[in-house]
Amino acid sequence: MRKKGQLVMLLGAIVCISAAAIFSEGQGAKPASAGVVSTAFERPLLVLDAGHGGADGGCVAADGTPEKGINLSILQTMRDTAAVMGYDVICTRESDVSIHDEGVTGLSKQKKSDMDNRLAIINKYENAVALSIHQNQFTDPKFCGAQMFYSQKSEATHALAEAVKGRIVSTLQPENKRETKPVGDELFLLDNAKCPMIMAECGFLSNEGEAQQLESPVYQKHMALTLFFGVNDYIYGQ
């Protein structure tokens, strides 16, 4: 009886240790033995930002579709994919709202407050990588294609932009020749983010064909997965 009890206890301990190891692997870290320095890679947290929300719709396609809904849809798929892949994800907004402070009135003041609060979320985390999702617009309707913008202050941010651009070309837009573009203080979030952060202009709503693609839920999912795997490539140094 005593031996059987010991065996049950031993089996129970093995199950617990195995479960702990599997759980730990699932969180992206390998279990460390006592006295051994863990070299496990600490995966950064992803901060996803959908440009515009609420009264601020951003740029608008010829058929009247504002960019804010497209940005949000791409963000939601990225968020869900990243979570399935084991990332911790924070979103600056997950529905069509402006996150300005209560009591702020007037669209321009609300936009400023919304931007300040998004930056505060982005800068709250030490080990993070951030991506802001937007749609582009230009006076000449012939222009199309995704383009990545990064802060000229940060080489890491440049590398992130190149990784995402690489995925855009390899999996979604093989003809895309748009170079990643450095920016300064004209892009508030990129200029003030403490972590590597890029802005993804996913395409031009001023181009009729591309606007139709960007408004399609299936294409939005393709774009979201492409952006996610680009960020993942940067994190894993591919």
Q: Which residues bind Zn ion (CB under 5 A)?
A: 51, 58, 134
Beta strands in 100-142 (DSSP E): 128-136
Q: Which is nearer to Zn ion, 45 or 164 (CB)?
A: 164
Amino acid code (one letter) for 188 = F
> What is the nearest approach in angstroms of Zn ion to the Cβ of residue 200?
10
> What is the nearest approach in angstroms of Zn ion to the Cβ of residue 68?
8
Q: Report the distance separating Cα 68 and Cα 184, nearest Å.
A: 24
Residue nearest to Zn ion (CB): 134
Find out whether 141 and 207 touch, Cβ atoms under 8 Å. yes
> What is the nearest approach in angstroms of Zn ion to the Cβ of residue 112?
15
* Rg of the chain (C-alpha set): 22
DSSP letter at 203? E
Q: Which is nearer to Zn ion, 45 or 130 (CB)?
A: 130
Find out whether 204 and 211 touch, Cβ atoms under 8 Å. yes
H or E element in which residue 52 lies = none
> What is the nearest approach in angstroms of Zn ion to the Cβ of residue 24?
40
Q: Which is nearer to Zn ion, 14 or 107 (CB)?
A: 107
Beta strands in 21-91 (DSSP E): 45-50, 89-91
Q: Which is nearer to Zn ion, 204 or 234 (CB)?
A: 204
> Six-digit token pair at 160?
């992130």
Q: Which is nearer to Zn ion, 44 or 58 (CB)?
A: 58
> What is the nearest approach in angstroms of Zn ion to the Cβ of residue 157?
18
